[in-house]
Amino acid sequence: MIQLLSSFVTYLLYHAAFFLFVSHLFSARPARWKVYGAAFAVNYGLFIALTILEIPLILNWMIIALLFTVEIRLLYRVAWSSSLLIALLGACVGLSATIVMRSVCALALNMPMAAFSNSYTAINLKALPVALGFLLAAIAWKSIDLQNNRRVLLIITLEKRAQHFLIIEIALCYLYLCLNLLLFYSPLDSILVKLWCLKTAVFVSMGSVLAIWFSYRLASVFVQTRRHDALVRAIDEDERRGVQLQQCADRDALTQCFTRSYAMRALGELLERDAALTVVFADLDRLKFVNDQHGHACGDAYIATAAAALEDLRSSTDDFVARYGGDEFLVVLKGGVNEALLVERMSVVQRELLETARESRFPFTPSISWGATSARPGDDIESLVARSDEAMYRRKHSVRAND
């Protein structure tokens, strides 16, 4: 009766310490009657049944590991893989502790290992080492149940590749422990056999700790890799949005031409490289009159139509049109253009503007005054734009004088 009571109490301590660790690990609190009532009753009842049936120790502990897996899955609603990993750890600690105590008792009492097997009907002294083993396992789980240790295991369970690796490692350790249980059925009364069993339990425990540490480092690498990849994607997305915002800032909302600030920046870069270029300064005639007489909507249509027509001045993708002011545009032609060719191109622009005005039934006749100049050594942005502006006014006055 004392033997049964001691095993009952120590198994309860082991069971409570293990499932308290699981509750802390998964931040869950199942009903106490489920953990300390139903689950304990099932586990301890199975323990007694396996003892009475004299189930071999190997099958005994494999059944316990399987039962732990199912209970963790049902009580904590975690993945099967996580349930299996924690169940293997729980069973591994319990089995290591009982092997240690069986081996120590065999050494201390100078008895063969078979005296501590799972035989129930024969004269057997297993009750003492089993009770001490459960007590040692309970102490071990109380020592393991620390925040840092739980954090390590939680990180491993969240990283599936590291978790699968650790499951394999702990399963192999557990299988090795189970195979060593065969020595408890040997009639040999050898100190070497007893020390071998003791060494197995100690070394498997150390190996399990190393496997957990390596899995944690592996999981940390995977986590850092994911964070790095996420950071790279975030940076790329920010850069893409930055480019989009810059493009929006560089474009005029009405005409979709480049803005004045972009034109000044681009001209500055071209002048720094001493690039050959021609700047055309274009001004829409009578825009104020159109706004006053026909409304700003009509004036906006005038501006947008003229901007589209000025795009025909471009001969390459390097050339660009920018809205300089309300009714003023800059056309930058890289490489330079001779005056005759420029006059011809502007004639095409004027004809296209008139044709679009007729199709859109503008209540006025649109026209563009323009002037052009080429960059000279020592030019800056202001002097280049000012010269093209002056050229535009000279041409406008010349046309009016001829009219």
Domain that holds residue 355: 258-401
3-state secondary structure of 282: strand
Evaluate whether 75 touches 21 at the Cβ level (below 8 Å): no
- Decide if 244 is inside a domain: no
| Cβ contact 127:47 at 8 Å | no
Let me know if residue 237 belongs to a domain: no
Is 24 in the same domain as 171? yes
**pLDDT tens, residue by residue, 89-101:** 999 999 999 999 9
pLDDT exceeds 70 at position 124: no
Structural domain includes residue 310:
yes
Residues 264 and 371 occupy one common structural domain: yes
The answer to whether 70 and 25 have CB atoms below 8 angstroms apart is no
The amino acid at 366: P
d(CA 88, CA 172): 10
| DSSP string computed for 131-184 | HHHHHHHHHHHHHH--HHHHHHHHHHHHSHHHHHHHHHHHHHHHHHHHHHGGGG
In a domain, 235, yes or no: no
> Does some domain include residue 245?
no
Give the model's confidence band at 122: pLDDT under 50 very low, under 70 low, under 90 confident, else very high. very low
Statement: residue 158 has pLDDT above 60:
yes
Instruction: Look at residue 238 and tell me if it is in a domain.
Output: no
| Total number of domains constituting the chain | 2
Same domain, 218 and 320: no
Q: Are residues 333 and 186 in the same domain?
A: no
Has residue 252 been placed in a domain?
A: no
Domain boundary among 230, 245, 270: 230
Give 334-357 pLDDT, tens digit per residue. 887 888 888 899 999 999 999 988
For residue 12, how many C-alpha atoms fall within 13 Å in the half-sphere facing its CB?
Answer: 10
3-state helix, strand, coil in the chain (%, to 5): 75, 5, 20
| pTM strictly above 0.85 | no
Taking CA atoms, 352 is separated from 170, 177, 254, 274, 310, in Å, by 80, 91, 19, 33, 9
Both 356 and 304 in one domain: the answer is yes
Is residue 89 located within the same domain as residue 205? yes
Q: Indicate whether 179 and 275 sit together in one domain.
A: no
Whether residue 364 sits in one domain with residue 312: yes
| 233 and 135 Cβ atoms separated by less than 8 Å | no
Asked whether the beta carbons of 60 and 126 are under 8 A apart, the reply is: no
Q: What is the CATH number of the domain that holds 297?
A: 3.30.70.270
Query: Is 103:191 a contact under the CB 8 Å cutoff?
Result: no
Helix axes 381-402, 260-272, angle to 10 degrees: 110
**Residue carrying the six token digits 């349930």:** 83
Which of 212, 230, 248 represents a domain boundary (last residue)?
A: 230
Average pLDDT, the chain: 88
Q: Does one domain contain both 5 and 126?
A: yes
Query: d(Cα 266, Cα 262) in Å, to the nearest integer?
Result: 6
Q: How far is residue 322's CA from residue 251's CA, in Å, rounded to a whole number?
A: 8
Question: How far apart are alpha carbons 148 and 167 in whole angstroms?
Answer: 20
End-to-end Cα spacing for the chain: 128
- Tell me the per-residue pLDDT of 169-216, one tens digit each, with 9 for 90 and over: 999 999 998 888 888 877 778 898 889 989 999 999 999 999 999 999
